[in-house]
Amino acid sequence: MVHPAREPERMETSTFVLVPGFWLGGWAWDGVADRLRAAGHRAVPVTLPGLDPDDPQRAAATIADQADHLRAIVAEQPGPVALVAHSGANLPTSVLLDREPTAVARVIYVDSGPVADGGRFDPSAPAELAELPLPPFDQLRASLDGLDDDTLRTFRERSVPAPGAVVREPVRLTNDARRDVPTTIVACSYPSEVMLKLAREGNPMMAETATLRDLEVVDLPTGHWPMWSRPADLAAALVAAVA
């Protein structure tokens, strides 16, 4: 029997709001954003308040300012939004989800995870710290695996110091509904098995992960900046997370 040809399934278009971590602007997502658009999706790279080198007031930015900025960007997007938070972008992302858990359809943490109430980037940062420049690479507490010399040179040249308040401020979270937001964690520097073990054991950086009620974890072995070391694979992982 001859069956009529089936029409190909139409791919649903998703909107990805891409938020880089400390010292970076939206430019850091270029390789991933290009691939998402080529696959038919919308990609919106974000430069958070405090990380725009042309903003004369950038050093005064706070985590609340960054969360407000993210909320405004998300609200402008058509249809459901996947909010992608790399590294320290978990701070304003956690604040946004605490304020408005229904603001996004899914949050995707890249080599990161949700912040707990009272969490901060650097508890030891002094009150007088005005800003935190990108440290020497040999002092970074993050894996540089997969990054070549040209990438490291661009990272250094284009990095912007993080505002002092963003570095030292604790986040205040009170809304338990933030834990219901569908969440994907892309584990890079550490295997997901290790990350989840740390979460179960109450490790301060990962403990909040254990409280999530709708969580999936995928492994993408590489360093802490997969948008540069494995952009095609990261783009594919983002698309799979919302499929």
Task: Give this prediction's pTM.
Answer: 0.93
Closest to 32 in 3D by CA, of 21, 16, 48, 47: 16
How far is residue 33's CA from residue 196's CA, in Å, rounded to a whole number? 28
pLDDT at 4: 37
User: What pLDDT score does 204 carry?
Assistant: 84
| Helix-then-strand count for the chain, H and E | 8, 8
Average confidence (pLDDT) per 10 residues, the chain, 243 residues:
36 90 98 97 98 96 98 94 98 98 97 96 92 95 95 98 96 98 97 93 91 97 98 98 94
Q: Does residue 223 contact residue 145 with C-beta atoms inside 8 Å?
A: yes
For position 234, what pLDDT does the model report? 98
| pLDDT for res 1 | 34
Complete edge-to-edge strand list for the sheet that includes strand 81-86:
42-45, 15-19, 81-86, 106-110, 183-187, 215-219
Alpha carbon distance 75, 73 (integer Å)? 5
The architecture that CATH gives domain 15-242 is 3-Layer(aba) Sandwich (3.40)
